[in-house]
Chains A and B, each alone.
Chain A
């Protein structure tokens, strides 16, 4: 029971995280894992303040789905790092996910706005 709840929570988390990763890569272009983590941390605050490592399975998954591609490169301070970039499929995926998300958010928002007298 508990395991199930935990799993569901994690799936939601991973889903939003994936969306953030895609958006970050779209905005900033090719970026290494740390860069992505830093950017999400800056924008979302506490979501990725801890457990930044969870980013890597998400990146791997996106790569397996063909949404991102990766290769070794050199970071700003001459450190070897793996750079991720959005593929054409990734752009498409981001577009679709974005629409989905906006739709969902809009519906949920409307539910929150509804007052009792509106339903009468």
Chain B
């Protein structure tokens, strides 16, 4: 209690800056005066009396200090004094301070941005209760289009028979619909989920309620929809009255029962559904029944483990059920082994994304390490220059810990300011990134407590890293030595110094980063060179949802035909056609192909799993996909004529090898289909895929509601967009139409490569800057340090080359050694780079040569000025100095 009271008073004194100085002074005066009077009365002379009074009082200064120490918070006061002093010192050398701050700002900023992304993607749990016990079922191998999904009946079997999950929910994540509310129609996408979905995830509604398992009583029994917060805000203007009203999804009425909380975006991180509806009501929206078919493999399964059940145990349980199912339904269920993964990262891509992000995290850390090495050199050099001042302070009674503390305070000040600037700029950059949404899918990266903490740790960590060097140096020196030798270095110059080591390490790291960015640029160039198999330049896409028009069969085909004709008659259009989905936008993957004569259509009997596109005549021409032989499909290929298809080269080669594909037959969807044409290969899912088989089917022989118009024209995209929209909405009013430039749409696919290149390029640039400042600093420092010696050498007739090598020889040697180490580590880091960059190859001679050349140029550029200065030394002038 007493101690507490004291601390409180001290803090109060400290904060209110109440100084008892006046009071103490007055008390001392009064004390001495009283004593003096008494002494005089005792018979001393006034002078003697005063002297005696002072003597008995003791050292007034010591008393004052003790008094002070009692009064306030000496530790904090000292710290404040250190901080003030550090600020003064830093202000005295603004160039140094600015360089140090910028270096740190860039280093820490880069780390914060990357850590922010890492945090948002990997470290942030999904917004569900107890995300740790939530698992997703994944098949062991990608086979015939199924990896994460299973059929609805199989899902029901798993759900009923398992003994290890407390709940298991199914998700159909590909639901698209036209949502109409009060005459407004917008296109939305969402999840169709089993009734227990929200209960399994443990999410509570923002307003209204969620649907539950008890709401389901067989097909079409639960016409309910839950809106996402984002959709509720944008389309319903956050109107609370919307709960209980009816909206239409693809012209079928659904009752809005509730709105999900803003933080909840389903079980995937990158795909945020607009709505959730019960799976039992899927048919009106999907227009096909997947609830009763074991061949429609569309349902993603997530489940929550019972308390105490290990994933291992649950996996065995599921595999046992899978084996049972394979026995019961040998036609459809293959009993493929399953494993459990945490949901959120698009299933199979999780490992890739994780590896990518962890490796990306390493790079800015390397930049920061290089920056710290750089700053350590700078600070150490400064401490050496200030050795006279430091020696003076030691002579005046400063203890060594006190000096080290002072130097560390300076380092911490610089790093705190740099860190704050870094955090600020990272925040701004992330804000821009969030607004422009360059990430694949949807992702918001925000600075939360964890990111701030990481920033602080990095800041203080780097302060320690670069602050230790000068502190250690100061600790090593004795004051006497410092006084005696003035600014000279204690060690002979020939020896291997701490600074050399730091610079070497820095150059090695920088070479590694420069190599990495060159590798990234090469990868990017390669990615741009990959033939896509279509020509996005000059083509427009119009996405139009004809599904809800309710027309089927011939009428729908006729309608599309009329629309294509109308589009083709727009002036400037050279080709037009429709396709179910353009490459890179998902579409159907893994359609099983059977040889003619197959009777059992089991997945295991299929010979190929292929991409499939349903298109109108003219699509290939509009897309710029070359037809290598045969004919295009035509409107005369109808349900009454034999089934035909165009296949790509890979399809033809895999099926029939060298024999000509034309006229060959295969079975697709149970129809014996004849190949009438061969088209060039292309990329269908991503740029990195190996050549994949693809098949194009005429739309007049298959029912297909998804339609994208591909229109090639000679006119400017903006003009064309307007004309297209006018024409199409003239034919089909009240249907949502999205028109975009194909080029822009494809850009998204190049985003990862581009982002990696930009990120690595920026890192490489930062590294190069650091290398330049490091080498420059070192060379300039050694020249200024050895001015006198060099002057004497010049006066004694040293040749220019000798002066040069004395001045900048050491940085050059370090550059060479450091670069070698960096290049070698680049080669060893190829696996790491491979995770970031498409087809990374650090052993590529162009990359190695480029890195060597870059480092050499940097070295020359950085040491040119110091070398020139060394040559321009005027010995006569120098000799007179000092």
Contact = CB atoms under 8 A, between A and B. Distances in A.
- Chains A and B belong together in one complex: yes
Interface string B20-55: 100110111011011101100000000000000001
Nearest to B61: A53
B27 A57 contact: no
B5 A65 contact: yes
Contact of A66 (B2, B55, B58): B2
A117 B297 CA distance: 99
Contact of B70 (A33, A60, A75, A79): A60
Contacts of B28: 53, 56
A66 B2 CA distance: 8
A72 to B, nearest CB: 9
B34 A79 contact: yes
Interface in B68-114: 69-71
A60 B63 CA distance: 11
B30 A79 contact: yes
Contact of B35 (A34, A66, A77, A81): A34
B30 A64 contact: no
Interface string A15-57: 0000000000000000011100110000000000111111011
B310 interface: no
B292 to A, nearest CB: 84
A53 B34 contact: no
B70 A37 contact: no
Contacts of A91: none
Contacts of A88: none
B58 to A, nearest CB: 3
A53 B6 contact: no
Contact of B56 (A50, A65, A66): A50
Contacts of A82: 23, 26-27, 30
A80 B2 contact: no
B834 to A, nearest CB: 59
Contacts, number: 76
B690 interface: no
A53 to B, nearest CB: 4
B10 A60 contact: no
Given A34-B35, A52-B31, A60 B55 contact: no
Contacts of A79: 30, 33-34
A64 B70 contact: yes
B9 interface: yes
Nearest to B30: A81
- Most chain A beta-carbon contacts within 10 A, residue among B20, B27, B37, B60: B27
Contacts of B20: 60
B691 to A, nearest CB: 79
A104 B232 CA distance: 78
A42 B66 CA distance: 24
A61 B5 CA distance: 11
A52 B58 contact: yes
A56 B24 contact: yes
B234 interface: no
Nearest to A41: B56
B59 interface: yes
Given A57-B66, A60-B67, A80 B57 contact: no
Contacts of B55: 50
A34 B31 contact: yes
B58 A54 contact: yes
> Which range contains the number of B residues in contact with the other chain?
20 to 34
Nearest to A93: B2
Interface in B533-552: none
A61 B62 contact: no
Given A64-B5, A64-B10, A64-B70, A53 B30 contact: no
Given A54-B63, A61-B6, A32 B70 contact: no
Contacts of A66: 2, 5
B247 to A, nearest CB: 71
B832 to A, nearest CB: 52
B2 to A, nearest CB: 5
A57 B5 contact: no
A38 to B, nearest CB: 8
A76 to B, nearest CB: 9
Interface string A56-72: 11001100111000000
Contacts of A57: 63, 66-67, 69-70
A78 to B, nearest CB: 11
Interface string B178-197: 00000000000000000000
Given A32-B30, A34-B35, A51 B58 contact: yes
A56 B6 contact: no
Contacts of A54: 58, 63, 66
Contact of B6 (A37, A50, A64, A75): A64
Contact of B62 (A52, A53, A75, A81): A53
B23 A53 contact: no
Contacts of B10: 64
Nearest to B28: A53
A118 to B, nearest CB: 39
A36 B720 CA distance: 100
- Most chain A beta-carbon contacts within 10 A, residue among B20, B23, B37, B70: B70
Contacts of B33: 79
A63 to B, nearest CB: 9
A80 B63 contact: no
A65 B2 contact: yes
A57 B60 CA distance: 11
A28 B59 CA distance: 27
Contacts of A81: 27, 30, 34
A58 to B, nearest CB: 8
B70 to A, nearest CB: 5
Contacts of B70: 57, 60-61, 64
B9 A64 contact: yes
A82 to B, nearest CB: 6
Interface in A79-109: 79-82
A94 to B, nearest CB: 13
B670 to A, nearest CB: 93
Contact of A52 (B5, B57, B66, B67): B57
A54 B66 CA distance: 8
Given A50-B58, A53-B63, A75 B30 contact: yes
Given A32-B34, A65-B5, A82-B23, 18 more contacts: A33-B31, A34-B35, A50-B55, A52-B31, A53-B57, A54-B66, A56-B27, A56-B28, A57-B63, A57-B69, A64-B9, A65-B2, A75-B30, A75-B34, A79-B30, A81-B27, A81-B30, A82-B27
15 contacts: A32-B34, A50-B55, A50-B56, A51-B57, A51-B59, A53-B31, A57-B63, A57-B66, A57-B69, A64-B10, A65-B2, A75-B30, A79-B34, A81-B27, A82-B23
